[in-house]
Each structure stands twice: as C-alpha cells, then as structure tokens.
Amino acid sequence: MAESHTARAATDISTADPTLAPHEGDATAPVTETRTQPGAKPPVSWSGLRPILLRLHFYAGVLIGPFLLVAAVTGLMYTATPQIEAVVYRHELKVTPHGTPQTLSAQVAAARKAVPDGTLFSVTPATGRTDSTRVVFDRPGLPDNYTQTAFVNPYTSEVLGQERTFAGWWLPVRSWVDGFHRHLNLGEPGRIYSEIAASWLWVEILGGLALWLTAPRSRQRIRRVLVPQGGPKGRRRTMSWHAAVGVWASVGLLGLSATGMTWSVHAGASIGKIQSALAGPTPAISTTLPGHTAHQPTGSDTRTSKGDVGIDAVVASAHAAGLRGVLNVSPPTKDQATYVVKENTRSWPERHDTVAVDPTTGKITDRANWADYPLLSKMTSWGIDAHMGLLFGLANQIVLALLAIALIGMILWGYRMWWLRRPTRTDGFTLGRAPTRGTWRRLPGWFLAPAVMLTAAIGYFVPLFGLPLLAFIVVDLIVGARRRRRNEPKEVAA
C-alpha cells in the first residue's frame, strides 16, 4: 500500500510538471523494471540508454570536474594577458614617432651589441608607427623554446629593453599564464591535466545536451530548455541553471575541447595523423638556393662572394611580393641557405604567406601561399587562434572569458547538485548518491558490442579519455560487487 502511494505521488508530480519529476538515482524515485518475454530481444530505447549516460555524466562530472575547473580558471586568466602585457611592457612595446625610421640593419646592429652572446634568430619589423622592432636571439642557457628578445626604437635604434620570450613572441606574463593553463608550469608531466580536461569536455557537453534536451516537458518547452528557472532555491533550480547555461555555451566549449586536443601530447599526435591523411600536405618552401643540394654548404657557392644584400632589401622584396602585416624574417643558417620571410597576421583575415629570398640577389626563390593550404589545415589554424583569443581581437577575448565563466558556473552548480542529493537522515558527512547502476546489462548484445567497440576506438585515439573511462568502469564494478556481497542474506546456523 505504501508503495502504491509513493508511485501515485511521483506520477502526480510528473504530470503537474515533467521537468520536476524525480531524478534517476534519487532516494525518492520509484524503481521500475521493464520485463520482456523469455527469448525475446529487449528493445533499445532512449529510456534504456538514458540511465547509462546519466551515470557516465555524473561520474565524469565529479571526478573530471577538478581538471575542468582548473582549465577554466587558468583560461579565464589567459584571456586578459594581452591587456596586461600592454601595460606591463609598454616601455618596450611602444615608441613616440619622430622623424624617419632608421634602417632595419642599423636596428639589428644595435640589438647585437645589447645581446653580444646571442645568435640572431629572427627579426619582426615594427608594424605600426608607434610599435618597436623585435630582434630575437638564441642564447646559451635558455630553456627549450625560449629566446632572448631585444626591443628597439625604430627611430633612434635605441634598445628599449630585453625580455625572455616563449616561441620568439610571448612575453613573460603571457608565457607564465599560458604555461599555467597548459601544464601548471610543471613541464611535460603537467600536460596530462589539460589533456584530460580537453578529452572529457566534449563528452560532458554532448552528454549533458542529450540528457537535457530529451527531458520530458509538457509546456513552454523552448523556454525551459534555454532559460534558467526561478522559484525556490534547491536542486531543480540549480539543475536548470547548470543545463541552460550549458546549452548556450555548448558550441564554444565543444570548439575549445577540439582545439585543445589538437596540440595535446597523445590525442594531438593521433589527430595530426588523421588530419594529414584527410587534408593532404600543406605548402612548404625550399630554403636551398637554386642549383644546390640540401646538404651543400652555402660557402661553396661562388655567389656568396658578392655578399649579403641585407635585411632591408629582403623585406623590400617581401613587400613587393605582396607580404604585409606582421612579418617574421629569419636569416640564413647552416641548414637554411635563404632568408625566410613569413606573414604572422593571426587576426581576421589571417595571412600566412611565406617566401624564400636569395641573400646574394634579394630575389624570391620560392613561395608558399596561405590560399593554397587545405581547408582542414586552415580550419585548424583558425580554431587554434580563436582558442588563443587572437582571431577576432577583443571580441574573441570577451567570448572566451564568458565561456570560461560559464564553465566555472556549470561545474560549481554540478557539485552543488551532488551535495543537495546527499542523504539527510544519516549521521556524519555524506555526499550525493550516484544515479541508478546496472542498466547496461539490460541492453541487447547486438547494440552493446558495437557501442563498446566504438568507445574502445575513441579511447585508443584519445587515450586520456579511454584510460579514465576504464578506471571508472573498474571502480564501479568493484563497488557494485562489494555492495552485492554486503546485501546478500547471511546464513543462520541451525
């Protein structure tokens, strides 16, 4: 009789407003079981798949949530780095225009005097009248991927200052925040955290969308999906905020997950192979002078006796070839016989044309055009630059900041829902229960086997999705086995 009253009460609640029906796994939710005829294959329906997805969403939210929270907080910090750099390094980045700029060769010569133990790596001429010139050097004792950059006033050739830069471009503030976001400034081992976050974010977003968009609703369907509910504070109101904000932020967060995985260590390698197979090779230039082999030293070329035309002539040739915006000029080296001039304009529209310039004649010897890049390669570049807040300037930064705030809120709301689901009639500290277990055993083999194979394939190519998932399953099986043993009736001695 008590059971019938409980079922009737649950039905009344569901009929009044289906979005307030008891949640799977709640202590108050009635337990039902679908029975099938012996020998008949049980049907596959969303009602059968939903509990499995709900349990995965729950476990991933609880256990992967801390990784996502750190990624969101550090990502939010990163969105402000351009403005912070503009203030902190203004004395090196900006100049007061007066007169005619001096030659690039004079500016490079001044930088060489300031960094006498450095080897010239690249030069970025001032792009605007108030910008300084960046002269980048390899220097002994610097960490991998770090260089020493001298900032030169183009009007006076005065060295305004020096900074240790990452990848020849990022100043210390951005380098530190970027390292904190990517690997907690712990080096390669720390990258595991960010790869776990990127590998699971898309799973959480797609799973949450499926659960929320298919929840039964009788009225005001669109409004209840997109607009958080008001009313008294509690779990249902928290869930509404968690889910509705997730709907609005889903596209952006899926993009961040995809682009985050492209430069991750393990998943990134797999994605790179797939991308190369699908998109084909990207255009590349030859830095070998015409008539020479790749291993022939430039000193054997009789034309080297003519000398070097100089960096000013090289930049003029690049401008004549149509390159403009932010330019990066690399001088010849023992492995590179020509100058290489690359466009590095990463705002919209992007420009990444590259030319090789003969140092003795100043003529273009080879060229790679951004327009000839495969579409998939372009999309990858656009996605990464959007992830870094470079593609659309300030608007891009604002969107990233809003996505980070949304993700932080969703994680905290998720943990609040977990807390609100805790048993309230027990002594001591307790947390919310996990959703109903064991539903996967009711799925037919013809459906379960391909699903397991697909999941295993994804786990192989995205190992920091696959390994945590395997750990979830093992732990869940162990917990389930222990609970079954504890609930088994004990034999009573005669």
Q: Could you report the per-residue pLDDT of 56-75, keeping only the tens digit for each?
A: 899 899 999 999 999 999 99
Domain residue limits, the chain: 42-89+171-282+373-422+432-483, 90-170, 283-372
The pLDDT mean for the chain works out to: 85
**pLDDT, position 319:** 97
pLDDT of residue 1 exceeding 70: no
**pLDDT, position 160:** 98
SS3 call for 368: strand
For residues 356-374, average pLDDT: 96
Return d(Cα 32, Cα 434) in angstroms, integer. 17
The percent of residues in the chain predicted with pLDDT above 70, rounded, is 83
Q: Which range has the worst mean pLDDT, 194-208, 298-312, 383-397, 410-424?
A: 298-312
**What one-letter code names the amino acid at 265?**
V
Which residue in 436, 437, 435, 432 sits closest to 418, CA to CA?
432
Q: Which range has the worst mean pLDDT, 20-34, 47-61, 387-401, 449-463?
A: 20-34
Class of domain 90-170: alpha beta
SS3 call for 43: coil
**pLDDT, position 216:** 75
For residues 423-439, average pLDDT: 66
Pairing label, strands 146-152, 133-138: antiparallel
**pLDDT, position 220:** 61
Return d(Cα 88, Cα 177) in angstroms, integer. 14
Which residue in 301, 273, 317 sits closest to 461, CA to CA?
273
pLDDT of residue 467 exceeding 60: yes
**pLDDT, position 225:** 87
Q: Could you report the per-residue pLDDT of 271-283, keeping only the tens digit for each?
A: 888 877 887 778 9
For residues 383-401, average pLDDT: 96
pLDDT of residue 356 exceeding 70: yes
pLDDT of residue 11 exceeding 90: no
For residues 344-361, average pLDDT: 96
Q: Which residue has the higher pLDDT, 48 or 319?
A: 319
Confidence of residue 296 (pLDDT cuts 50, 70, 90): very low
The 327-330 sheet, strands edge to edge: 159-166, 146-152, 133-138, 119-124, 327-330, 339-343, 354-357, 364-368
**pLDDT, position 136:** 98
Q: Which residues of 298-325 are buried (b: 16+ CB within 10 A; e: fewer)?
A: beebeebeeeebbbbbbbebbeeeebee
On the question of a cis peptide bond just before residue 349, with omega within 30 degrees of 0, the verdict is yes
**pLDDT, position 445:** 79
Which residue in 385, 382, 415, 466 sits closest to 199, CA to CA?
466
pLDDT of residue 22 exceeding 50: no
pLDDT of residue 259 exceeding 60: yes
Q: What count of Cα atoms within 13 Å lies in the side-chain half-sphere of residue 464?
A: 24
**pLDDT, position 263:** 85
Return d(Cα 416, Cα 424) in angstroms, integer. 15
According to DSSP, the residues that pair with 339 across neighbouring strands are 357
SS3 call for 351: strand
